[in-house]
Amino acid sequence: MITPPSSTPFSYVLGLADDALVSAQRMGWWISRAPQLEEDLALANIGLDQLGQARNLLTYAGELEGAGRSEDDLAYLRDDRDFRNVWLVERPQTDFGVAMARLLVFSAWQAELYAALALGEDPTLAAIAGKAVKEVAYHLDHARRWVVRLGDGTEESHARMQVALEAEWPYVEELFGPVDGAVVDPVALRDAVLTTVESVLAEATLVVPQVAPARGGGRRGLHTEDLGYLLAEMQHLHRSHPGATW
């Protein structure tokens, strides 16, 4: 079967790949640190799903670029200025409430994005997204349950969940920023994503934060300092031992 050449830009697919990859790396931090063993498994599995999505997207990005870069080349041999992920996913999340607030926003966004890509005109993205959308439904459900449990829980869990939400909220808007050659217009996802998130917050008796958006710039390669540390850890083995295999 001959597939016609895609007009989808490398940079667009790379952005979506980097979102999933960096989020997966942050999820992995929770292994052995989550509040309970079941949560270790859950966050590891969610991270693994995201890593799988990232691998598929990076492989496709490499094909679009046409410079012979593999998924590993793209994941391990780029510096922070060459990453195109949003700021939402790159900052440390050492508070469980923050992790769940972020996962709620991120999975609600990925759910809408992948659902739209699955019906879109790029057949490769449609195949990747058609698979991912089913996985993300579980991620969103997991985040929703925790946000409701903590938000509508004790006085302390409610207060901490609200603080976590305030911490993440400045990074929501960047998800909807314009991207050159976007297959799915990011702005078009905004209403549906916010409707999902805000309905969960209402159920959790939490207040939608009123905070100014962060400057952002991840899609142009501008990042917080935190991404550099994340990449140092993620890329160290591969860069120190090129070609190493298990």
Partner 1 sequence: MTSIVGGGGAWKIAADIPDPELPVVTIADLGILRDVTEDDQGRVHVRITPTYSGCPAMETIRTDLIETLTAAGYRHVDVEFVLAPAWTTDWMSEEAKAKLRAYGVAPPGAGPVSVPLAVRCPQCGSLDTRESSRFGSTACKSLWVCRACREPFDHFKAI
Binding site for partner 1 (CB under 8 A): 38-39, 41-42, 44-46, 48-53, 55-56, 123, 126-128, 130-132, 134-135, 137-138, 141-142, 145
For partner 1, which is the closer residue by CB, 143 or 214?
143
What is the DSSP secondary structure assignment for residue 88, as one 8-state letter? G
Give 116-121's long-range contacts (Cβ < 8 A, gap of 24+): 116/184, 116/188, 116/189, 117/183, 117/184, 120/183, 120/184, 121/183
User: CA nearest 160: which of 90, 99, 226?
Assistant: 99
Q: Is 210 helix (H, G, I), strand (E, B) or coil?
A: coil
For partner 1, which is the closer residue by CB, 131 or 190?
131
For partner 1, which is the closer residue by CB, 130 or 177?
130
What is the DSSP secondary structure assignment for residue 176, as one 8-state letter? G
Rounded Cα distance, 175 and 88, in Å: 8
Cβ neighbors of 59 (< 8 A, separation 6 or more) are 70, 71
For partner 1, which is the closer residue by CB, 57 or 230?
57
Give me Rg for the CA atoms of the chain.
Answer: 18
Structure-derived torsion over alpha carbons of residues 186, 187, 193, 194, reported in degrees to the nearest 10 = 150
Query: Crossing angle, helix 10-28 and helix 225-240, to 10 degrees?
Result: 90
What is the DSSP secondary structure assignment for residue 89, as one 8-state letter? G
For partner 1, which is the closer residue by CB, 91 or 142?
142
Q: In whole angstroms, how close is the CB of 155 to partner 1 at the nearest point?
A: 27
What is the DSSP secondary structure assignment for residue 112, as one 8-state letter? H
- Evaluate whether 223 touches 83 at the Cβ level (below 8 Å): yes
Token pair, residue 119, equals 């019906």
Q: In whole angstroms, how close is the CB of 136 to partner 1 at the nearest point?
A: 10
